[in-house]
Amino acid sequence: MDAANSYLQGTFIPNYWDKNITVQSKTISSAFKPLPPELDLNAICVQKEYRTIRRDHTFSFDNKMYVIDSPIRYSIENQKVEIRCQFDGTFSAYFGHRRLDITELVEPRKTHEYGMEVQRKIEAVELAQQLGNIAKAARIIGCSRQSIYTYQQVLETEGAIGLKRINKPLKRSKNSIPESTENKIIELTLKDPHTNALQLMKSLKQEHDISVSSSTIQNIWKREQLNTKALRLKRSQALNIDV
C-alpha cells in the first residue's frame, strides 16, 4: 500500500495526470451554486422504508413498536407510513408529506411474579404514564379509561398484589366461560402461538377435557390482543416463553 501511494503521488499524478488530464479553468470563480432555501437535503439523502399502520395506529420498525401521537381525525389503518432513515442512524416517520410524532412502546421482558393478569394491568398503567394520555393508552391496550384509573388507584394503595383477580374478582356474565378455562386458553396460546383456533379447540378437548368453540377462542384472542399470529408470537417473545 505504501509503494502504491508513493507511485501515485510521486510518479502518476505529476508525470501523467497533471500533464495530460488536468485542464486549466477559464475563470477563477467557483462554479458551485447554493441550494435553494426550500430544498432540504436531509429529506432527499435518506433511505426510505415503508410499514403498514395497524388498527390502533401503531407500526413496527427495527424490531420495536411505535405509536403515532400526531392527532389524526380519521383512521389510517392498513395505510403505509414512510420511514426516512438518516445516515447518522436516526429516522423519522411520514404519512404523505406530514411528519408524524411517534413514541416507542416498550414491551416487558418477563411475566410479573403475580401472573399474566397482573402483568397486563401493570402494562396498562405504565403505558398511560409513558404516553401521558390515559384515553390513548386505553385504546391501545383495549380496555376502558375507568379500568386504568382503577388499576392506578389499587397499585398506589395495595401494590401489585391488589391487582390479582383472587383478591379483586371481576364481574363476569353468567354465560361467560370459567376464568380457569380462559387462563388455560391464554397459556396454551402463548406456548404455541402458531396454532389456529380450530386446532386449539381440539387440543383443549382431547388433552384437557375442556369444551369451547373456536369462536369463543377467537373472541378471547381479540380481547387479549392475540388475534393474529404476529401478535401471539410477539407476546410470547416478550414473556420469554419457549415456543
pTM (2 d.p.): 0.38
- For residue 169, name the pLDDT band (cuts at 50, 70, 90): very low
Please tell me the predicted confidence (pLDDT) of residue 54.
Answer: 87
DSSP H or E stretch at residue 216: helix 214-223
- For residue 167, name the pLDDT band (cuts at 50, 70, 90): very low
Average pLDDT over residues 208-235: 86
Q: In this predicted model, what pLDDT tens digit does every residue of 28-49 receive, in sequence order?
A: 788 788 888 888 777 778 899 9
Q: How far apart are alpha carbons 93 and 78 in whole angstroms?
A: 15
Average pLDDT over residues 205-234: 86
Boundaries of every domain in the chain = 41-105, 116-163, 179-238
Instruction: Kindly list the distances between the CA atom of residue 235 and the CA atoms of 49, 142, 171, in Å, as whole numbers in the listed order.
Output: 25, 15, 26
Q: How far apart are alpha carbons 117 and 110 in whole angstroms?
A: 13
